[in-house]
Amino acid sequence: MSFINFTEARCKNCYKCLRECPVKGIRFKDNQAEIVEERCIACGKCFEVCPQEARKIDTDLSKVKECISNGKKVIVSLAPSALGYFDMNFVELISRIKMLGFQEVRETAEGAQFVIQKYREHVEASEDKIFITSCCPSVNYLIRIYFPHLTKYLMPFESPMIVHGLMIKEEQPDAKVVFIGPCVGKKIEKEQLKKKESVDYVITFDELKLWFEEMTESTYEIDESINGDITEGRKFPVDRGIVMGLADNLNNKGIKPYVVDGFQKNLDIFNSISKGKLKNAFVEANICIGSCIGGPSMGIRERDFYESNDKVERFITEYENNTMEIKSELGNKNYFKSHPESPLHDEEVSREEINRVLKDMGKNNEEDKLNCGVCGYTTCEEKAVAIIRGMAEKDMCLHYMRSKAESLSNIIFENTVNSVIIVDGELNILEMNPTAQKTFMAKIGEYRGVPLASLMDDSDFKEVLQTKENIEGKTVENNQYGVVFKENISYLEKQDVLIGVMMNITEEKKNKKELYDVKEKTLDAAQEVIEKQMRVAQEIAGLLGETTAETKIILNRLRRVVAGENGAEK
């Protein structure tokens, strides 16, 4: 079932898919939704409601196109509900589909006609008193997984889609069969055929619509030779479409018909059967509200359900008198189907484990268990069990996350060393944290709703409000309170509030001034020392100059004495 899931990039954790999922078969891990195969009944409701369209469905569209382009014989099995989806009549629709390159377009109603005959024979021959139709794959999965003890009551026949594929393959073994319908569950049903030679590909009405959009009006023409010779098999997609064909048989056996659509009605009637309260019942069961007309690929959210249903019923009535002989047997007998049980095997969860998880989410008493359903689970205890089983995360609880966020923000707000002041668009004080109250010697109870100007200079706040440009890291001296701030002011436009965060840098400023004074005194002292050294050097130089002059005089005198003595000797 891996070919239907959610795309990782687009999941926004709104939990809408989980709220819609009737069996809670969606796991959330690391804030990503994931369909759990063994729990899913393939109803497609999660895809219908996803606001991000985060759906990932493997499509056979390209494979079908490739078969046609390669010249293979490709035959369509078209579900009767198509007339409720497309805004065209029967002949126009068949003509347009044929122009896509299909060799034949046949109606799945042929298979439905065969199935309803087998239903009649089974009811007449069986000694059972309870019967459940097996045409809807999602009903089959629901029973096999969640009511496995009821599988014995499921009709032992393949669905009209599979039977029709068998019929076509028996007639034309070399053909490729493409079922076109309103149900994503049919994709899974096709995958579970195992070795049966039946339907090869499944595409939905949505996918066919995309293919039509690639065509131009000039690429197809209406085939007037098309007729609609099929009878009650077309009634399958509408409420009571099956029981109407079995009315006489059920009446003869004293069996009361029940028609249920939508998950809750199915759940109710299966519970009733399980408890032994409902007997002698033939249940026409469809998981979609309004039967196949309400299928996940019918686009009912964009279309009017009653209009679509009326179109299909008019189509049935229009060709009601046209009869077509449907073969009463298939040579290979592959239309029989077993319904193996596939029950879940969830481990039991203890009361202690549940209480531990509830406590972790801050749900310590009954008042804390809001059971709001925002997370997708009906009760907080159901959510706790899902967490223990790895299907959910604590962070999915809105109230838990809100309490966690408020607690953390309150801690930060109450304990930050910076002054924080919050004012509204008219510059009236909304909130002050304890640091701001201490710095400005003001109690919030006395100043809440009072203009900021009564407490401090509000010119910077006005500037931010007018320009919508935040102030970051501005140094402001507030002589009134003897403090110096590093100021950050931000405007939150959606909330129309301004937040001022002021870091007290008075001590830092003071320390810088003291350091500057020390440096200045040091420079002055150094200057004085240098000047003294220069004076000493000058004095030394003066003394050295006098001594040198005297030495020179004495030297000259000695030179003359020596010169005189030398002359006398001569």
In whole angstroms, give the CA distance from residue 103 to residue 14. Answer: 45
Length of the chain, in residues:
570
pTM score of the predicted model: 0.72
Give residue limits of the domains in the chain: 1-58, 59-318, 351-404, 417-504, 510-556
Residue range 124-165, pLDDT digits in tens: 999 989 999 999 999 999 999 999 999 999 999 999 999 999
In whole angstroms, give the CA distance from residue 130 to residue 273. Answer: 9
Query: Where residue 570 falls among pLDDT bands split at 50, 70, 90?
Result: very low
Among 367, 350, 357, 364, smallest CA distance to 394 is for: 357
Q: What are phi and psi of 437, to 5 degrees?
A: -60, -40
Q: What share of the chain is helix, strand, coil (3-state, %, to 5)?
A: 50, 15, 35
Residue range 316-366, pLDDT digits in tens: 776 665 555 666 677 766 888 989 999 988 989 999 999 999 988 888 888
Question: Looking at domain 417-504, does it have CATH number 3.30.450.20?
Answer: yes
pLDDT higher than threshold 90 for residue 528: no
pLDDT higher than threshold 90 for residue 458: yes
pLDDT higher than threshold 70 for residue 462: yes
Indicate left, alpha or beta for 194 from its phi (over 0: left) and psi (-120 to 50: alpha). Answer: left
Query: Where residue 262 falls among pLDDT bands split at 50, 70, 90?
Result: very high
91 burial level (CB within 10 Å; 0-12, 13-18, 19+): middle
In whole angstroms, give the CA distance from residue 507 to residue 503. Answer: 11
Instruction: Report the DSSP beta bridge partners of residue 490.
Output: 499
| Contact call for residues 196 and 166 (beta carbons, < 8 A) | yes
Average pLDDT, integer, range 14-20: 90
CA 438 to chain centre: 46
Residue range 194-241, pLDDT digits in tens: 768 899 999 999 999 999 988 876 566 777 666 655 555 667 777 677
Among 24-33, 467-476, 541-550, where is mean pLDDT lowest? Answer: 541-550
Strand, helix or coil for residue 328: coil
Residue range 53-77, pLDDT digits in tens: 777 778 899 999 999 999 999 999 9
What token pair was written down for 464?
């931010």
Average confidence score pLDDT of the chain: 85
pLDDT of residue 57: 78
Fold of 1-58: Alpha-Beta Plaits (3.30.70)
In whole angstroms, give the CA distance from residue 552 to residue 563. Answer: 16
pLDDT of residue 502: 92
| Contact call for residues 166 and 115 (beta carbons, < 8 A) | no
CB atoms near residue 492 (< 10 Å):
11
Fold of 351-404: 3-methyladenine DNA Glycosylase II; Chain A, domain 3 (1.10.15)
pLDDT higher than threshold 70 for residue 395: yes
- How far lies 276's CA from each of 128, 273, 281, in Å? 14, 5, 11
